[in-house]
A and B are shown apart, each in its own frame.
Chain A
Amino acid sequence: MFKILQAEFIAPGIKRFVIQAPRIARKQKPGQFVILRVYEEGERIPITIEKSDPARGTVNIVVQSVGKTTHLLNSLESGESIRDVVGPLGKASEIEKFGTVVVMGGGVGTAMAYPTAAALKGAGNCVISIVGARSKELVILEREMREVSDELLITTDDGTYAEKGFVTDRLRRVIDSGTKIDLVLAVGPIPMMRAVADLTRGHKIRTIVSLNPIMIDGTGMCGGCRVLIDGKSEFACVDGPEFDAHRINFDVLVQRNAMYRAAEQKSFEDFQRERESLLAKVHAEQEAECALQGAGK
């Protein structure tokens, strides 16, 4: 069991958890993720690590409510616990002095872009960050991103905050302004990463994106997270999650992510109906596990 030390919504439907996980906290590097399982009957899902504190032994994750598991997770409060958390998984971001780097975060992807932006800044890069969200209240980590960026640009789809438009529109203007960009790092929804890749391809700007396909074990064992890179299968969990955006077959990524849509929808509908009884079950499991641990098992 992994204790939740803090849990707070940082935007509607987006929650930050501070979890006690000393082993993971010691090793985590920007770009890596954890796989967690909320309760005994739960599925395993990959979740981005926002940052960690090795001294306190804590790891921060930022979770957006999408389907059953994330809604259930976001129902947990400080003082409760998560059944299993394993990591840090995946390769760390490549951090070196590239020159000028544009770091792009779309929606909750900003939480994953943040530690890499910080590390790139620390390595002496000029960091231009572009953060986008659907509307004002969904812009997250603005202060944190500002701290690690030479320039922070914000867009909202509906124009309720900062500039109206998509992050790609903003990136295009940065490119058109003649700024020499050495690297683009984009983390967000697949359509956003794909649009970024399409834009930078023409300008021959090296572009890295972080993929989040369906995963189970996260150690390379199952092959469920395979993505087509230059026509060859690679595993997002061990070969990624970051890949050269210009080599990814996005069609296959989209298609494979839709594989369980019917089941996902059914699970979510069931969850909405049975939310209270499921939460009671999760709490009972937590208490039973606490009692076991108390008994020295």
Chain B
Amino acid sequence: MSPTKSLNPVPIKERMKVPRQHMLEQPPLLRAANFKEVNLGYPEELARREAQRCLECAKPVCINDCPVGVNVKEFVQLIVAGDFMAAAAKIREDNVLPAITGRVCPQEDHCEGGCLLGKKVQPLGIGYLERFVADYEQQHMDRSTIRRAEPSGKRVAIVGSGPSGLTAAGDLVQKGHEVHVFEALHELGGVLVYGIPEFRLPKQIIREQIDYMRAMGVHFETNVVIGKTVTINELMEEEGFDAIFIGTGAGLPVFMGIPGEHLNGVYSANEFLTRINLMHAYEYPNFDEPMLDFRGKNVAVIGGGNTALDAIRSALRLGAGKAYVLYRRSEAEMPARKEEVKHAKEEGIEFRVLTNPIEFLSDGKGWLSGVRCMQMELGEPDASGRRRPVPIEGSEFEIPLSVAVIAIGTSANPLIQSTTPGLATNKRNYIEADPTTQRTSRKGVFAGGDIVTGSATVILAMGAGRRAAKSIHEYLTSGGW
């Protein structure tokens, strides 16, 4: 259903006067000592009040700016109307993971970024509303009512259970295709599980979204490394899959190539976060995976993205005495979500911007004791359009550290490329895929997400999964390539 006429009781002119409704959150000092979710969600009343702020634009920019094209205007209208389940169904037409995107999307870069309200006051809290609706649905839905599509007789393999794979799986199963998702790790969710910490995206939320997909008919198999356990060719030739979507994510951690990187106490962000999130090291000794004991000691993360902030906020929760973000550009260039930067600062994380590490220092026994840095200044814009950081001569200084986490990005994991003849890759060894159809150079094989673009965001990967699903469906129904 979609209301033809606005049910919003607040006159248009009054809507700008209603302030953006704050989402309840754990107080900073409390949350900095636990791994529970920071944001606590909207109660119904706040959700409806926030929804009433929507200006119901004739040509909503928010929908265009969403990588999966969620019909923001209509779902918000349904919240105003009080029909939260219908609002959830409306989101699900375009987004099979609403409880996840409602929590981790950089809304300021997408739906909320173009919101007309934002030109004058604060933009509509679209992410908050999405999260509210998704959580409401989770609490009130009856999974047995999920309808399964008429079987098409076609089989699709999805490689990787991260955001792009889950999105493609959800869209394809709704078209009646038999969908099998293969995951290398023991737990489903990809980066959502190993990368994003509990305090930002609780595991239970991911499990519920995956259970929903199971109820839709998606098959999941863990502990299968495509390229090792089974190859793309074998999936097509021996296991009878008609099409394959590769959504394996970014892969290998990039190190800095500076002295001392092998010292004990220097981690890649992938390892640091995988230990904590996937392996539950923060629950040691109830879980077996250990973490170095750095309670009361100094920890720094190097980098300014969401991964960097996830790592350092995790370190703080594990008892780090001082927790630093070392970033070589200025805060304006920081790629992390604005809300994460704000939350991190409130929690007491110290941001040292225009700071570039040049050497990890040893205690003489193989353990990290500190980092030597250069102070930087911003020069001319570089290839990324951001001003290039330039070292200031003679500005070297040292910070004593017990743990350093390197979060400066990732490079392509070659496991699939190297075992799939004829699969074209670019210079950096990412898989080449058409940006609209997500087709690769191999017939019937599609790819999307970080393994095509390099490190990006959950929602951009989901957008790729969505485009791939559409074009896989076209391929399976037309047979044309």
Residues of chain A touching chain B, judged by Cβ–Cβ distance below 8 Å, are 23-24, 27, 37, 41-44, 68-69, 83-89, 216-224, 226, 228, 233, 235, 238, 249, 251-252, 255-256, 258-260, 262-264, 266-267, 270, 297
Given contacts A221-B253, A233-B255, whether A89 and B289 have CB atoms under 8 Å apart is no
Query: Do A87 and B413 touch (CB < 8 A)?
Result: no
Bound CA span A41–B286, Å:
7
Bound CA span A44–B186, Å:
10
Chain A residues with CB below 8 A from B225, complex form: 86-87, 89, 218-219
Chain A residues with CB below 8 A from B278, complex form: 216
Query: Do B252 and A220 touch (CB < 8 A)?
Result: yes
B6 contacts the other chain (CB 8 A): no
Min CB–CB distance A36 → chain B (angstroms): 9
Query: Do B186 and A87 touch (CB < 8 A)?
Result: no
Query: Do B290 and A222 touch (CB < 8 A)?
Result: no
Query: Do B252 and A221 touch (CB < 8 A)?
Result: yes
Shortest Cβ distance from B211 into A: residue: A297
Shortest Cβ distance from B366 into A: residue: A255
B117 contacts the other chain (CB 8 A): no
Shortest Cβ distance from A90 into B: residue: B228
Query: Do B413 and A221 touch (CB < 8 A)?
Result: yes
Min CB–CB distance B402 → chain A (angstroms): 12
Which one of B262-270, B327-335, B429-437 is at the A interface? Answer: B262-270
Query: Do A84 and B271 touch (CB < 8 A)?
Result: no
A87 touches which of B228, B253, B268, B293 (Cβ 8 Å): B228
Bound CA span A9–B2, Å:
67
Bound CA span A68–B228, Å:
28
Shortest Cβ distance from B249 into A: residue: A221
Query: Do A83 and B228 touch (CB < 8 A)?
Result: no
Query: Do A83 and B287 touch (CB < 8 A)?
Result: no
Bound CA span A173–B116, Å:
83
Min CB–CB distance B475 → chain A (angstroms): 27
Q: Quick one: CB contact mask for B272-298 with A, threshold 8 Å, 1 for yes?
A: 001100111000111111111100000
Min CB–CB distance B343 → chain A (angstroms): 25
Bound CA span A256–B262, Å:
8
B224 contacts the other chain (CB 8 A): yes
B230 contacts the other chain (CB 8 A): yes
Chain A residues with CB below 8 A from B26, complex form: none
Query: Do B229 and A43 touch (CB < 8 A)?
Result: no
Query: Do B262 and A226 touch (CB < 8 A)?
Result: yes
Query: Do A267 and B288 touch (CB < 8 A)?
Result: yes
Bound CA span A23–B235, Å:
12
Chain B residues with CB below 8 A from A221, complex form: 194, 251-253, 270, 274, 413
Bound CA span A272–B280, Å:
22
Chain B residues with CB below 8 A from A44, complex form: 186, 279, 289
B33 contacts the other chain (CB 8 A): no
Query: Do A266 and B292 touch (CB < 8 A)?
Result: no
Shortest Cβ distance from A67 into B: residue: B288
Given contacts A226-B255, A263-B293, 4 further A-B contacts (CB under 8 A): A84-B223, A87-B228, A255-B264, A263-B291
Min CB–CB distance A1 → chain B (angstroms): 10
Query: Do A223 and B271 touch (CB < 8 A)?
Result: yes
Chain A residues with CB below 8 A from B223, complex form: 84-86
Given contacts A24-B229, A221-B252, whether A267 and B292 have CB atoms under 8 Å apart is no
Query: Do B292 and A216 touch (CB < 8 A)?
Result: no
CB within 8 Å of A: which B102-143 residues: none
- Write 30 A-B pairs (CB below 8 A) sorted by A numbering: A23-B230, A27-B228, A41-B286, A43-B288, A44-B186, A68-B288, A69-B288, A83-B186, A84-B222, A86-B223, A87-B225, A216-B279, A217-B184, A218-B225, A219-B225, A220-B252, A220-B413, A220-B415, A223-B268, A224-B267, A226-B262, A238-B414, A238-B415, A249-B262, A251-B366, A252-B262, A252-B366, A258-B264, A263-B291, A297-B214
Min CB–CB distance A106 → chain B (angstroms): 24
B274 touches which of A86, A216, A251 (Cβ 8 Å): A216
Given contacts A43-B279, A217-B274, A223-B271, whether A263 and B229 have CB atoms under 8 Å apart is no
Min CB–CB distance A120 → chain B (angstroms): 23
Min CB–CB distance A284 → chain B (angstroms): 15
Bound CA span A68–B251, Å:
30
B236 contacts the other chain (CB 8 A): no
Instruction: Give the size of the chain B interface in residues (CB under 8 angstroms).
Output: 42
Query: Do A223 and B279 touch (CB < 8 A)?
Result: no
Query: Do B288 and A89 touch (CB < 8 A)?
Result: no
Query: Do A222 and B271 touch (CB < 8 A)?
Result: yes
The winner among A86, A223, A249, A260 for most chain B CB atoms within 10 A is: A223
Min CB–CB distance B222 → chain A (angstroms): 7
Bound CA span A260–B251, Å:
25
Chain A residues with CB below 8 A from B264, complex form: 255-256, 258-259
A222 touches which of B274, B284, B366, B415 (Cβ 8 Å): B274
Query: Do A228 and B186 touch (CB < 8 A)?
Result: no
B185 contacts the other chain (CB 8 A): yes
B261 contacts the other chain (CB 8 A): yes
CB within 8 Å of A: which B225-257 residues: 225, 228-230, 251-253, 255
Query: Do A260 and B255 touch (CB < 8 A)?
Result: no
Bound CA span A42–B187, Å:
13
Min CB–CB distance B454 → chain A (angstroms): 15
Bound CA span A68–B224, Å:
26
Bound CA span A238–B411, Å:
14
Query: Do B253 and A41 touch (CB < 8 A)?
Result: no
Chain B residues with CB below 8 A from A266, complex form: 285
Given contacts A44-B279, A252-B262, A260-B292, whether A86 and B229 have CB atoms under 8 Å apart is yes
Query: Do A87 and B222 touch (CB < 8 A)?
Result: no
Chain A residues with CB below 8 A from B289, complex form: 43-44, 216
Min CB–CB distance B282 → chain A (angstroms): 13
Bound CA span A42–B284, Å:
10
Bound CA span A49–B252, Å:
25
Query: Do A89 and B290 touch (CB < 8 A)?
Result: no
A219 touches which of B230, B366, B415 (Cβ 8 Å): B415
Given contacts A85-B223, A222-B270, whether A262 and B255 have CB atoms under 8 Å apart is no
Chain B residues with CB below 8 A from A24, complex form: 229
Bound CA span A52–B264, Å:
36
Min CB–CB distance B270 → chain A (angstroms): 5
Query: Do A233 and B230 touch (CB < 8 A)?
Result: no
Query: Do A27 and B230 touch (CB < 8 A)?
Result: yes
CB within 8 Å of A: which B8-58 residues: none
Bound CA span A216–B286, Å:
18
The winner among A217, A255, A266 for most chain B CB atoms within 10 A is: A217
Bound CA span A68–B278, Å:
19
Chain B residues with CB below 8 A from A42, complex form: 287-288
Query: Do B285 and A270 touch (CB < 8 A)?
Result: yes
Chain B residues with CB below 8 A from A258, complex form: 264, 366
Given contacts A223-B252, A223-B270, A238-B415, whether A259 and B262 have CB atoms under 8 Å apart is no
Bound CA span A258–B289, Å:
15
A223 touches which of B185, B229, B253, B292 (Cβ 8 Å): B253
B229 touches which of A27, A37, A83 (Cβ 8 Å): A27
A41 touches which of B228, B270, B280, B291 (Cβ 8 Å): B280
Given contacts A24-B229, A86-B229, whether A224 and B288 have CB atoms under 8 Å apart is no
